[in-house]
């Protein structure tokens, strides 16, 4: 059995090394190198595709179900409010500073530590698959989505994002819709044309007021917001088209495809989704991993933000050390004790079901 204090110390050191290496989305090759080398140094057989690294436990048994442990090592770019060097991973007053320390470095190194804790153990009820992935911050196609076919059959997943180790048992999906209302151009001074703005207004009012029949137990209703509108070329021309954008936050009561179909049935505008990849996700409150967390004093909630959880077609829970309120902020940090607590709680939850 691996010593958890030693794993904690190694996790903190690894996070400091990761922070020192810029790893913007699509530019994570050097942090992927570091993670790959770290795992191999600990006797783990690794696999790599682009900037994604994954591995299975040493005594993998294909007859057993597999748990996915996933977090990402890409970061956003530092915002202009930084007063510190974003790549100088100093620890001061119990805080480990640096870009990506909170989102999602603390989660990532904690899950790596947890994977190492279980890696050499025999007679586990579940296998473990660790996936450290790229492009999460841009919902890119060359991150987790790229390697899902390589990971094999998965029973459920733990996605490491900063939740203060509370249990996000559902996550909203996201669809961005580009809509176009069509009219006919004409001179505004005469009874000519067909005003596309007026046609768009009818549909926009529908987006504002429509209530989907099914509501999520966690989130309540689906939320649709018209956020951008553009029409017309000059004051005396009736516009032939009106283009507007709708932000749709889908709940676990529907699939994205169902929501899109309902919208198209009700509006006259052309509706084109930019993507239907970012799916709503959830895990039953009765699931053993959720019950294990509840037994350890954790609370359940629904997360309004999207993550790589939206790319999974398996039950998954989003949980990790750190606080999402610190994500993408200037002088980002994670408390060192949060990493220790994260490792310990992950292990306790997983030992309860193993």
What pLDDT does 2 receive?
Answer: 58
Distance CA 59, CA 341 (A): 27
In the chain, count of helices (H) and strands (E)? 8, 18
Are both 154 and 221 inside the same structural domain?
no
Chosen domain end from 218, 251, 274: 274
pTM of the model: 0.87
What pLDDT does 1 receive?
Answer: 47
Give the domain extent around 57: 4-171+280-353
Sorted by sequence, the CB contacts under 8 Å of residue 97 that are 6+ apart come out as 84, 88, 89, 90, 91, 331, 332, 333
Q: Are 338 and 321 in contact (CB under 8 A)?
A: yes
Chosen domain end from 274, 299, 331: 274
Phi and psi at residue 234, to the nearest 5°: -160, 165
If pLDDT is split at 50, 70 and 90, which confidence band does 250 have? very high
Q: What is the pLDDT of residues 41-95, one digit of tens each?
A: 999 999 999 999 999 999 999 999 999 999 999 999 998 899 999 999 999 999 9
Q: What is the pLDDT of residues 307-342, one digit of tens each?
A: 899 899 999 999 999 998 898 899 999 999 999 999
Distance CA 66, CA 34 (A): 25
Which has the closest alpha carbon to 232: 186, 264, 265? 186
| CATH number reported for the structural domain that contains residue 232 in this entry | 3.30.70.360
Chosen domain end from 223, 255, 274: 274
Are both 49 and 111 inside the same structural domain?
yes
What pLDDT does 271 receive?
Answer: 98
Q: For the chain, what is the domain count?
A: 2
């Amino acid at each position: 059995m691996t010593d958890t204090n030693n794993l904690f110390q190694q996790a903190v050191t690894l996070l400091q090394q990761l922070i020192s290496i810029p790893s913007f989305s699509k530019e994570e090759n050097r942090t992927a190198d570091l993670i790959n080398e770290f795992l191999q140094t600990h006797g783990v057989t690794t696999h790599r595709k682009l900037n994604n690294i994954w591995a299975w436990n040493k005594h993998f048994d294909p007859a057993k179900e597999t748990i996915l442990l996933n977090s990402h090592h890409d970061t956003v770019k530092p915002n202009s409010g930084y007063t510190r060097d974003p790549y100088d991973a100093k620890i001061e007053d119990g805080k480990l500073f640096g870009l990506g320390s909170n989102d999602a470095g603390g989660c990532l190194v904690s899950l790596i530590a947890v994977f190492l804790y279980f890696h050499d153990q025999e007679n586990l009820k579940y296998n473990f698959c660790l996936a450290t992935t790229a492009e999460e911050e841009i919902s890119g196609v060359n991150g987790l989505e790229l390697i899902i076919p390589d990971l094999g059959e998965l029973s459920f997943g733990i996605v490491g994002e900063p939740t203060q180790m509370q249990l996000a048992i559902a996550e909203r999906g996201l669809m961005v819709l580009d809509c176009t209302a069509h009219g006919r151009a004409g001179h505004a001074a005469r009874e000519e044309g067909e005003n596309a703005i007026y046609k768009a207004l009818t549909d926009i009012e529908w987006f504002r007021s429509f209530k989907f029949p099914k509501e999520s137990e966690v989130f309540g209703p689906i939320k649709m917001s018209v956020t951008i509108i553009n029409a017309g070329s000059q004051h005396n021309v009736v516009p032939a088209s009106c283009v507007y954008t709708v932000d749709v936050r889908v709940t676990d009561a529907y699939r994205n495809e169902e929501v899109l179909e309902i919208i198209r049935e009700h509006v006259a505008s052309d509706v084109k989704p930019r993507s239907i990849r970012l799916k709503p996700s959830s895990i039953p409150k009765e699931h053993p991993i959720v019950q294990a967390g509840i037994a350890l004093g954790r609370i359940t909630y629904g997360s309004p933000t999207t993550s790589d959880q939206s790319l999974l077609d398996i039950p998954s829970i989003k949980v990790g050390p750190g606080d999402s309120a610190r994500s993408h902020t200037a002088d980002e940090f994670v408390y060192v004790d949060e990493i220790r607590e994260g490792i310990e709680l992950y292990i306790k939850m997983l030992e309860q079901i193993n």
